[in-house]
Amino acid sequence: MDFEFSPEENAFREKVEQWLVENHDPVVMDPTRENFSQLADTPERRAFMRKLAAQGWLGMSWPKEYGGQEIEGVYEFILTEALARHAAPQIGKGVGIIGKTLIRHGSEKLKREFLPKILSAEIEFAVGYSEPQAGSDAANMQLKAEKVDGGWKLNGQKIWTTSAHFADWYWFGARTDPDKPKHDGISLFLLPMDAPGLEIQSMPTIGKDITNQVFFEDVFVADDYLVGERGRGFRYISEALDLERFTMFTLSPTQERTRLICEYVKTAERDGKPLREDPIVRQKIAHLITDTAVARGLSMRFLSAATTAGKPPTNESSQYKLFTTHLSQRTCDVALDIMGPAGQIRVDTEDAPLAGRFEGAYRATVVETIGGGASEIQKNIIARRKLGLPKNF
């Protein structure tokens, strides 16, 4: 396993960086939005994604027959981290979760309808797995899909669907076979967000932006929009979650926060003494820098394992997600400790240390440890699949 990029990969990294600098737009690239900066949720941000698509950078690892370049996933990793570093929208859901699942399991109709639109950034998706009684335990979802003539009638509720208020299509799981074991009774569907009977209600989050709950009342979805085989939806969802845990929780923002707090410590004083000379501050900074290097190592290990296996590796994705999201949280915690009470002043407030960046970042990191499967779920996955521990111990 090589922890460094090849000359070709570094050349691509420099090309992407130059393009992002040349196409910088403060309306699109807003680091204070934290996790929500990855969403193409405004006309300006969707236009940015179309410009990105015109570079041929969407779906680079896809097979050529579906418009991809069949190059290694490390190039998508380099692109995603660069976009995150510039607080630009991410390629995430469409290229990764939906696109790659359709390539593996979707019908030819779904591939023809959706894959070209994903590559040209013409379409945005919302992902619906969580329900009030099925959070990180996605297999417990109860959204009812009843077979009717030509399709399915849907009734129930989803929650924490972040993109529902602007997405074009909904990618979600529903229970089609209630008499089967819970992991075997779920199917995966695609549905237009303007379908009759679908209601979206916004919900504020601790991370400043909004998520949504979605209600289904006799919503019809045609048979053609069943993804893959009936009853195998949980398997497809699990595969996609391994990818989400890696691509949706990038390391670049944490690296940038660490850099900012280091710059702050270089010049800040407390009680007339430079903070850089405080041994406790120095220790905390050293731990953050070391752990950030560890997180990068975990990301490279994921890429190596994914290249070997040909699909997102479960253990490595859970290890990366667990470590990186908690590192992100610790980075903000340390920053607020070092800055003291002034660190709690909100973004863009006059005289706020580092323009108030860390107050909002701290709240956003709480959401990171929940999305894509809470930390407790990641620990269970690692315990069972990596360490071989029994399910009940």
pLDDT at 259 over 70: yes
pLDDT at 278 over 90: yes
Given this model, what pLDDT does residue 163 score?
A: 92
pLDDT at 152 over 90: yes
At 175, is the secondary structure helix, strand, or coil?
strand
Return the ∠ at Cα 175 (arms to 174 and 177), rounded to 5°.
145
Average pLDDT, the chain: 90
Given a contact cutoff of 8 angstroms between Cβ atoms, the answer to whether 10 and 74 are in contact is: no
Given this model, what pLDDT does residue 33 score?
A: 84
Tell me the average pLDDT across 149-159: 97
DSSP secondary structure code for residue 203 in this structure = E
CATH top-level class of 249-386: mainly alpha
Given this model, what pLDDT does residue 1 score?
A: 63
How many Å apart are CA 13 and CA 255, to the nearest integer?
A: 16
Given this model, what pLDDT does residue 247 score?
A: 65
- Supply 104's token pair: 């593996």
pLDDT-based confidence at 309, cuts 50/70/90?
Answer: low
Phi, psi of 271, deg, nearest 5: 55, 35
DSSP secondary structure code for residue 4 in this structure = S
Out of 12-26, 84-98, 126-140, 150-164, least confident range: 126-140
Tell me the average pLDDT across 166-195: 95
Given this model, what pLDDT does residue 385 score?
A: 84
How many Å apart are CA 84 and CA 92, to the nearest integer?
A: 11
Given this model, what pLDDT does residue 3 score?
A: 73
The residue with greater pLDDT, 240 or 281, is 281
With a pLDDT cut of 70, the percent of the chain lying above it is 95
Given this model, what pLDDT does residue 136 score?
A: 65
Given this model, what pLDDT does residue 225 score?
A: 98
Topology of domain 127-230, CATH = Butyryl-CoA Dehydrogenase, subunit A; domain 2 (2.40.110)
pLDDT at 242 over 70: no
Out of 123-127, 161-165, 298-302, least confident range: 298-302
Q: How far is CA 385 from the centre of its chain?
A: 22
Indicate the domain borders of the chain. 7-90, 127-230, 249-386
Q: Shortest CA distance to 79 belongs to which of 5, 149, 151? A: 5
